[in-house]
């Protein structure tokens, strides 16, 4: 595997090309200035929108501002991520962030103004100024919030409280990222060293059981020590959600969180119930794991170690790209043409270099094209990451191409569908083209573990959130004991009775940052289930599904997420997509146990 000591060593065709956004920094500065001018102009509309014409002028200028601002921000962010140690790009990003605050302040008057109108007045404005039809759906959708928006004075008070209300999440972030000190583990030389997160993710997969146990105990040590502080921050976060939902006249905190995507509560409850009704294959997998690892008893620190050892595939970037094109062939020539363009036109930043941001992401820049960040390691995980991010990339590319700016961005609810469909097509292709039983087992194990993490674990978290918010709504005090008991009960229900519980298991709730962004994790599970459903049909060669899926990728946010998925044949208001995904999981576990 090639390692690079700096960015200049990386071949040009493996680095993204930021000059597609701005050929030189002066152009960035010109746009920056333009945004400042438009911001000043937008402020003048406060109190001065009295007819269709002035409403259109405001919205048109705001959209123009948003077009330029997205480019300015994206350029600075991508530059920083190339090398986070450089100070000049950091200063551009700081400037962009300051600009964002100014833009927010200049446009904050609009929503209260809009909702102070009655619908009839708004419709008369649209009739009088024909060009408003472009914004019509967006404007009318805002009216859904009417009963949940307060008077101008109350809204101002709430916005001033915004920072205070975010304190629990911020406090947990500081504990979790800055202050936490994990326990010690023994390194190869027999020295005691402090555990880091990066080390933990490797050690918990180590074949040496004692190393796994030691890492597990060391990792949980600070969470158990800080249990009361973390319980207080989580309890405060939950109470804030519940209080805000009441103030804004929502039936519950859950319904407040689902409102934006227009998702009924039943979809959330149905996800949990259907999963629990079909949980036995997951329990079976725990039993298989215990058998394969030849353990008298299985514990939580045995749940991440790969069950197939010695299968280390080296997959170069070139080979990974070729494999992706073959695996995604069922999606048709047009899809593959876009993927080839990503590589040929330098949309992807491939290699890990010192100072480069870790991980991987896709960023769609409207009016330009998507940018994909990778840190390719020539292994199976990197192949999956490439295929995943290119799924997001094609979704961004097609939505931008076929949608006007106002509906080009897509909701998080549907985002994971495009990436996961690609992963399912990939695993299918790899299994179909692999005869070595050890490699096949390794692939199945990889996919089953991914299914477990993206689907079952997230459903369990979603149920934990629902139960704890429900208690807060009923006035039950939340503390360490309540969190421990709730989490431990759920962990048993989902993972089965085979696992022997260490004391640490029940503290699992204390390390999850997503719990400070309420009712968010369920979207991973619904997205994953939708993708399994679609990929199964695509692999059967169902032309209607292939066509409707490609149309879905072109739709951006032109409809509510559930409606967009319905057009592809996935109806999340019924148990079917969840049942189909769980049936597929059962088949994978069965095949794995047979090999």
Q: Does 35 map to a domain?
A: yes
Q: Does 136 map to a domain?
A: yes
> With 70 as the cut, is the pLDDT of residue 208 above it?
yes
> With 90 as the cut, is the pLDDT of residue 172 above it?
yes
Q: Does 89 map to a domain?
A: yes
**551 is annotated as an active-site residue:** no
Q: Which of 82, 214, 389, 473 is catalytic?
A: 389
Structural domain count of the chain: 1
Tell which residue, 372, 390, 345, 373, has the closest CA to residue 83: 373
Tell which residue, 47, 462, 61, has the closest CA to residue 272: 462
Q: Please give the Cα distance from 38 to 587 (Å, whole number).
A: 57
- The DSSP call for residue 428 is H
Percent residues over pLDDT 70 in the chain: 99
Residues in the chain: 595
Domain of residue 127: give its range. 7-152
Q: Do the beta carbons of residue 345 and residue 17 sit within 8 Å?
A: yes
Could you report the per-residue pLDDT of 392-416, keeping only the tens digit for each?
Answer: 999 999 999 999 999 999 998 999 8
Q: Does 66 map to a domain?
A: yes
- The DSSP call for residue 532 is H
Could you report the per-residue pLDDT of 1-23, keeping only the tens digit for each?
Answer: 567 888 999 999 999 999 999 99
- How would you list the strands of the sheet with 370-373, edge to edge? 348-349, 370-373, 361-364
Could you report the per-residue pLDDT of 409-463, keeping only the tens digit for each?
Answer: 999 899 989 999 999 999 999 999 998 888 899 999 989 998 999 999 999 999 9
Q: Do the beta carbons of residue 183 and residue 217 sit within 8 Å?
A: yes
Range 177-206 average pLDDT = 87
Q: Does 58 map to a domain?
A: yes
Could you report the per-residue pLDDT of 310-331, keeping only the tens digit for each?
Answer: 777 889 999 999 999 999 999 9
CATH number (domain holding residue 126): 1.20.140.70
Weakest-pLDDT range from 111-120, 130-139, 366-375, 395-404: 111-120
Could you report the per-residue pLDDT of 469-490, keeping only the tens digit for each?
Answer: 999 999 999 999 999 999 999 9
Q: Does 108 map to a domain?
A: yes
Q: Does 184 map to a domain?
A: no
pLDDT of residue 2: 64
Q: Does 169 map to a domain?
A: no
């Amino acid at each position: 595997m090639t390692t690079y000591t700096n960015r200049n060593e990386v071949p040009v065709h493996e680095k993204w090309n930021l000059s597609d956004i701005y050929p030189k920094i002066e152009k960035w500065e010109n746009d920056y200035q333009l945004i400042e001018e438009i911001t000043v102009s937008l402020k003048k509309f406060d109190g001065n929108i009295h007819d269709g014409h002035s409403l259109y002028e405001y919205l048109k200028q705001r959209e123009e501002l948003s077009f330029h601002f997205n480019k300015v921000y994206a350029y600075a962010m991508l530059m920083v991520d190339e090398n986070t140690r450089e100070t000049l790009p950091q200063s551009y990003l700081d400037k962009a962030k300051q600009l964002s605050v100014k833009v927010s302040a200049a446009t904050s008057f609009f929503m209260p103004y809009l909702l102070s109108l009655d619908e009839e007045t708004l419709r008369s404005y649209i009739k009088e100024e024909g060009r408003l039809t472009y914004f019509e759906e967006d404007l009318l959708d805002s009216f859904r919030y009417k009963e949940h928006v307060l008077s101008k004075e109350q809204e101002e008070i709430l916005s001033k409280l915004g920072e205070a209300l975010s304190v629990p999440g911020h406090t947990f972030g500081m504990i979790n990222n800055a202050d936490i000190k994990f326990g010690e583990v023994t390194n190869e030389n027999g020295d005691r060293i402090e555990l880091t997160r990066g080390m933990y993710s490797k050690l918990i997969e180590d074949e040496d059981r004692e190393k796994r146990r030691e890492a597990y105990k060391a990792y949980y040590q600070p969470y158990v020590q800080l249990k009361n502080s973390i319980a207080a921050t989580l309890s405060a976060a939950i109470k804030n959600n519940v209080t805000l939902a009441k103030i804004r006249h929502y039936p519950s905190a859950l319904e407040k969180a689902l409102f934006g995507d227009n998702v009924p509560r039943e979809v959330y409850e149905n996800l949990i119930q259907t999963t629990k009704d079909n949980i036995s294959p997951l329990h079976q997998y725990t039993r298989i794991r215990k058998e394969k690892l030849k353990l008298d008893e299985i514990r939580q620190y045995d749940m991440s170690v790969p069950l197939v050892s010695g299968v280390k595939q080296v997959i170069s970037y070139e080979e990974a790209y070729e494999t992706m094109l073959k695996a995604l062939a069922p999606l048709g020539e047009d899809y593959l043409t876009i993927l080839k363009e990503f590589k040929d036109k330098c949309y992807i930043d491939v290699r890990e270099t010192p100072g480069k941001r870790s991980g991987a992401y896709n960023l769609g820049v409207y009016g330009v094209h998507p940018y994909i960040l990778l840190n390719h390691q020539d292994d199976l995980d990197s192949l999956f990451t490439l295929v995943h991010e290119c799924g997001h990339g094609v979704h961004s590319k097609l939505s931008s191409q076929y949608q006007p700016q106002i509906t080009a961005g897509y909701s998080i609810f549907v985002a994971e569908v495009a990436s996961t469909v690609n992963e399912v097509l990939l695993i299918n292709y790899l299994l179909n083209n692999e005869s070595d039983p050890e490699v096949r087992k390794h692939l199945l194990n990889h996919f089953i573990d991914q299914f477990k993490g993206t689907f079952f674990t997230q459903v369990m978290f979603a149920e934990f959130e629902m139960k704890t918010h429900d208690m807060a709504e009923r006035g039950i005090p939340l503390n360490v004991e309540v969190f421990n008991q709730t989490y431990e009960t759920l962990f048993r229900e989902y993972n089965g009775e085979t696992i022997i519980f260490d004391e640490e298991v029940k503290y699992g709730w204390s390390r999850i940052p997503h719990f400070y962004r309420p009712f968010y994790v369920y979207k991973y599970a619904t997205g994953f289930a939708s993708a399994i459903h679609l990929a199964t049909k695509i692999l059967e060669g169902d032309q209607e599904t292939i066509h409707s899926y490609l149309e879905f990728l072109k739709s951006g946010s032109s409809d509510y997420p559930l409606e967009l998925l319905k057009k592809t044949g996935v109806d999340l208001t019924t148990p079917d997509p969840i049942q189909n995904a769980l049936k597929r999981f059962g088949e994978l576990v069965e095949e794995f146990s047979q090999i």
